[in-house]
Amino acid sequence: MEDSEIGKMILELLPKDGTTKGNKFILSELKKKIKDLEESKYWEVRNSLIEIGKIGRGRGKGGAIFFISPSPIVQKKDKEQRLKESDLYEPFMRSIEEWWIKNYIYDNYLIEMTANQGKRKTGGKWTRPDLTLISIKSYQYVIGKVMDVITFEIKPLDNYGIESVFETASQSVFAHKSYLCIHTPSGKPQTPDFERIEIQCENFGVGLLIFEDPHKWETFEVLLEPRRKEPDPFEVNEFIKKQIGENKKESLSRMIRS
Give me the pLDDT at residue 73, please: 52
* Confidence grade of residue 179 (pLDDT, cut at 50, 70, 90): very high
The ranges assigned to domains in the chain are 3-67, 79-257
Handedness of CA 28, 32, 33, 38 (dihedral sign): positive
Helices 23-33, 39-51: axis angle to 10 degrees equals 120
* Structural domain 3-67, CATH architecture: Orthogonal Bundle (1.10)
Give me the pLDDT at residue 192, please: 84
Percent of the chain whose predicted confidence (pLDDT) is above 70: 89
DSSP, collapsed to helix, strand or coil, labels residue 145 as strand
Q: Is the pLDDT of residue 89 over 90?
A: yes
| Overall average pLDDT of the 129-152 stretch | 93
Query: Would you identify the CATH topology of the domain 79-257?
Result: Trna Endonuclease; Chain: A, domain 1 (3.40.1350)
- Nearest CA-CA partner of 79 in 188, 182, 158, 168: 158
Give me the pLDDT at residue 78, please: 47
Q: Which residues contact 254 (CB under 8 A, 6 or more apart)?
A: none
Cα–Cα distance, 72 to 68 (Å, whole number): 10
